[in-house]
Amino acid sequence: AVPLVVAVSTAISAKNGLLIRDRVAFEKARNIQAIVFDKTGTLTMGKFGVTDVVKLSDDITEDEILSYAASVELHSEHPIAKAIAQAGKNRMNVDDFKAIPGKGAEGIVDGKHVMVVSPGYLREKGIKIENEKINEMLSAGKTVVYLLIDDELKGAIGLADIIRPESKEAIARLKKMGIKCMMLTGDNEQVAKWVAKELNLDEYFAEVLPHEKSQKIKEIQSRNLVVAMTGDGVNDAPALVQADVGIAIGAGTDVAVESADIILVRSDPRDVVAIIELAKKTYKKMV
């Protein structure tokens, strides 16, 4: 049988937009020592806008860079893709669209192999870029992706996301409770560093590939810490399962929600504080 206080707490939490799917995990929530947040869509709104287009080749215009990129991205669900698809006006037909998880997207446009990829992908291929404007975008905390046509670098697209106004307060309150706050992201090192500084995070891990996210959680657990993970994306699901307490942002993907122990209906990171406080109260009454 479910003890009465727990039943009451579960009802109270549901009324406040905190859905407890796993009661054992809820009990562990009172002892959380480290929280790992996904960046995009969790600490930030996950709604990007294109801010800059940079030409990296003489045989293409800025409009063409956007058009090629937008054509491919129209077929991707990624938040970066949505912004680029919206920004490109003259979209072309795409064959053989493929997502490259954690790295980008590709397709055939007008007989040419078009890719939109992360800085990490370029590094992997040994392609180096030295560009003043790109450096400026990176140090301003922007996300930068690159357009390749038939394996040649043609341009860069800079995008900006917005940090959720509630994130700062959530982190400050968690830290006051003695909980280590960390961030995990597939995005570039500079953006991660910028967000980590804005939010006063204890640690961050950048350019983490989707299949490495749960491994990172394991590593943190091996420091003898009770670890919670908060995320919204398909690629966060294994990490949510691995964590001692998996918390999904309600507006996130179905896969994330189904992999989580607790769901925050309001997509407000301050609700992570609320759930910990409620767990502490609930289980204090029982001893």
The residues that are catalytic are: 38
Rounded Cα distance, 164 and 203, in Å: 19
185 touches ligand ADP (CB under 6 A): yes
| 88 vs 233 by CB, closer to Mg ion | 233
User: Beta 94-100 vs 104-109: how paired, if at all?
Assistant: antiparallel
Q: How many residues bind ligand ADP (CB under 6 A)?
A: 21
Using the rule CB under 6 A, give the single segment among 3-11, 27-35, 86-94, 183-191 that binds ligand ADP. 183-191
User: Beta 143-149 vs 112-117: how paired, if at all?
Assistant: antiparallel
Q: Which of 9, 10, 13, 40 binds ligand ADP (CB under 6 A)?
A: 40
103 touches ligand ADP (CB under 6 A): yes
Q: How many helices (H) and strands (E) does the chain have?
A: 12, 13
185 binds, among Mg ion, ligand ADP, none (CB under 5 to 8 A by kind): ligand ADP
3-state SS string over 171-195?
HHHHHHCCCEEEEECCCCHHHHHHH
212 touches ligand ADP (CB under 6 A): no
44 touches ligand ADP (CB under 6 A): no
* Of residues 240-279, those binding ligand ADP (CB under 6 A): none
- The distance of closest approach from Cβ of residue 89 to ligand ADP in the complex, given in angstroms and rounded to an integer, is 18
DSSP state of 210: G
DSSP assignment string, 13-59: HHHTTEEES-HHHHHHGGG--EEEEEIIIIIB----EEEEEEE-STT
229 binds, among Mg ion, ligand ADP, none (CB under 5 to 8 A by kind): none
Rounded Cα distance, 248 and 231, in Å: 5
- The distance of closest approach from Cβ of residue 143 to ligand ADP in the complex, given in angstroms and rounded to an integer, is 6
105 binds, among Mg ion, ligand ADP, none (CB under 5 to 8 A by kind): ligand ADP
Using the rule CB under 6 A, give the single segment among 122-130, 159-167, 181-189, 273-281 that binds ligand ADP. 181-189
Other Cβ atoms within 10 Å of 110 Cβ, number = 12
Using the rule CB under 6 A, give the single segment among 55-63, 86-94, 180-188, 245-253 that binds ligand ADP. 180-188
Nearest to 164 by CA among 248, 61, 268: 268
Binding site for Mg ion (CB under 5 A): 38, 40-41, 232-233
DSSP state of 78: S
